[in-house]
Structure 1
């Protein structure tokens, strides 16, 4: 059965969104470097109040941006499966996701973690810690956990399609999801996230697998599924312009009402867990709806510069840890406020990341993967 593709032309606004989200990923990890959250390869804890602003920036990003990546990935998963078939789809995912994952683990990750060798050796009480042992002790996929999870979601989708009677037909006329459906989805996501975090609290880290935010898995899975449904039903194209205002308003109001509760409630208590689960669900749905409609209506075009940025965004995602560690290590002796070092490293790192991504993608056969 041949399925008529819903996306007949390239959606440049989605490419532009990917670029913006990739910039946020880079800035997010620069903020972690100089804030108060020890969750990056190179970490310089803030010694002034500006570190709190970086922590807030990190918390706001974490509430929605990786879930947004999963939603976008879900939007293009059914079409890829329709074109390639089940085996071709999985083979393509293994090439385009699996090879970058292996390259990161075997080539880039050793460069990113090399600076922490002395600290790990000291913690182990050894001055002659073999590098292979250090490598295994510190094993995790870093930011490429996203690729790990996306590979799992792709496999689950392929299994679902194999067992289904046939691909669902796309909607004859794209229509936006009813408001009540969005409200119920948001409420359900908040409830499932709250229950999940009674078992998997915020801050839990899973070694080896390397998931830095397993507490957010309900959001990632739910938004990937929404993206799959959005592909067939044309939700992104059909959302009315007023959805942008409503989405941003919901995100803003929830932040004003709930973020203070998250900050002031007892750490790890039920009140904080509930407030954070509700805030993240409302904020994520609101911001995602707002940004989708904003970029669709105002940033749908793509010139040479925007095309260059979006065409190299995935490569930037893969290589940015090494770039950030190198630059932040180079300026480690600079005595300045946390926010100042954040701005300095960000201004240097973004063009370096895209320049290096261009060189890498220019290598023979690199374009087949990247």
Structure 2
């Protein structure tokens, strides 16, 4: 079976934008999580007003947000490769992913270090304590929130390698295409698709269950567990990119997948209560139960989020397209700003909900304004998003025939 021709799906633009923009919502919760002051290695800013609702919101978003992003990234990567070939694909990814990673990492690292120093000084009456807190003394450079760009580079390389190897045994990929068709033809699709993720979590040593899939942003070589999970999700998106008519299945089943995702996440959350804080889980039985439940929540939640986007956001929209273009810049730039706003209000005696809402609103307004004034109509916007095409006319369906994948 030959891959279908590339085309823009407006719904997946919306889904990808939502996954990136939810990063603001998620990271803004972290200073309000109960006990975060005892876990500065998790988040260095702790507010005086905290709520378990913030921990619940963080947990819920974390289950599906990055899997959604990597699934959509895999889909668009396949479309880009089909359109530009291997050489063009590599040039495009070097320009749009590798180069922004290098530049943004330097700028964000300096800004975040400055914010953390300011926050610690505020916590201690305006001056840095002596000696410095252990988490500052032991801190090492890492990829911060930009780890997703670094991991994408790994996934692109692995995808090209896997594609080259698989062509030796299945020249046109028809066998894999038929396998995905059969999996999605059964109501047990989520259980089948979740099994490899559950296995990877079970095999992950020192797994801190409350954090879900470990963040692979602290080493040059990503840990095997999260690399395998995100590579699998990315590969599933790539697979869907070869036969986009299967997206109709996700659009039809979004409510069923949502119900399964909520059920899996709830079971996982209840299981995680037996292993609070940052203590890794060691017992084989509880670890297996949690891994299966979390994998179900992750897989079903991811398919539900994508299916919901396909069902309700398939028509071209100027607003959605604007946010889709802006979301890359907003996510890259958001973390130092969110942390600075958290540090600014952390000692104020206001209700946590007022602080949290204010951080989200102010950060979003400033980031959108910076995109409009300094990025959208400048060379930076062309660098990050390419030249903006004229908006296409509204039409029926899921946008399967629109434009070119970024």
TM tier, smaller: 0.7 to 0.9
Stretches of structure 2 that go unaligned for 5 or more consecutive residues are 122-126, 386-406
Aligned to 2:361: 347
**Is the Cα–Cα contact under 8 Å of residues 142 and 210 in structure 1 kept in the other structure?**
no
Stretches of structure 1 that go unaligned for 5 or more consecutive residues are 127-133
- Does residue 368 (structure 1) correspond to residue 383 (structure 2)? The answer is yes
Q: Deviations over 1:115-145 (max 9, x none)?
A: 334759968848xxxxxxx999541121100
Displacement of 1:43: 1.0
Among residues 251, 254, 263, which one is paired with 1:244 in the alignment?
254
Greater CA drift, 199-208 or 213-222: 199-208
**Is the Cα–Cα contact under 8 Å of residues 258 and 279 in structure 1 kept in the other structure?**
yes
- Does residue 145 (structure 1) correspond to residue 152 (structure 2)? The answer is no
CA distance in 1, matches of 2:172, 2:365: 42
- Does residue 298 (structure 1) correspond to residue 297 (structure 2)? The answer is no
Greater CA drift, 85-94 or 306-315: 85-94
Displacement of 1:238: 2.8
The structure showing larger relative contact order (alpha-carbon pairs under 8 Å, at least 6 residues apart) is 2
CA distance in 1, matches of 2:45, 2:222: 16
Q: Deviations over 1:84-139 (max 9, x none)?
A: 2222212211111111111112222201221334759968848xxxxxxx999541
Aligned to 1:108: 108
Aligned to 1:59: 59
Q: Deviations over 1:251-284 (max 9, x none)?
A: 2222444422221357524254333312221111
- Does residue 322 (structure 1) correspond to residue 322 (structure 2)? The answer is no
Q: Deviations over 1:16-36 (max 9, x none)?
A: 112221221111000013224
Query: How many pairs does the alignment contain?
Result: 358
The SS at the match of 2:379 is coil
The SS at the match of 2:273 is helix
Superposed, 1:127-166 pairs within 5 Å as 138-163=140-165, 164-165=167-168
Label 1:85 to 1:241 Cα distance change in 2 as closer, same or farther (>3 A): closer
- Does residue 30 (structure 1) correspond to residue 38 (structure 2)? The answer is no
Superposed, 1:74-89 pairs within 5 Å as 74-89=74-89
Aligned to 1:282: 296
Label 1:35 to 1:258 Cα distance change in 2 as closer, same or farther (>3 A): closer
**Is the Cα–Cα contact under 8 Å of residues 86 and 162 in structure 1 kept in the other structure?**
no
Q: Deviations over 1:43-87 (max 9, x none)?
A: 124544x2x111111112221111111111111122212222222
Label 1:205 to 1:21 Cα distance change in 2 as closer, same or farther (>3 A): closer
CA distance in 2, matches of 1:177, 1:272: 29
Greater CA drift, 176-185 or 318-327: 176-185
CA distance in 2, matches of 1:276, 1:123: 40
Aligned to 2:348: 334
The SS at the match of 1:239 is helix
**Is the Cα–Cα contact under 8 Å of residues 75 and 229 in structure 1 kept in the other structure?**
yes
Among residues 174, 177, 200, which one is paired with 2:184 in the alignment?
177
**What root-mean-square deviation, in Å, do the aligned CA atoms of Structure 1 and Structure 2 show?**
3.5
Aligned to 2:242: 232
**Is the Cα–Cα contact under 8 Å of residues 104 and 141 in structure 1 kept in the other structure?**
no
The SS at the match of 2:141 is coil
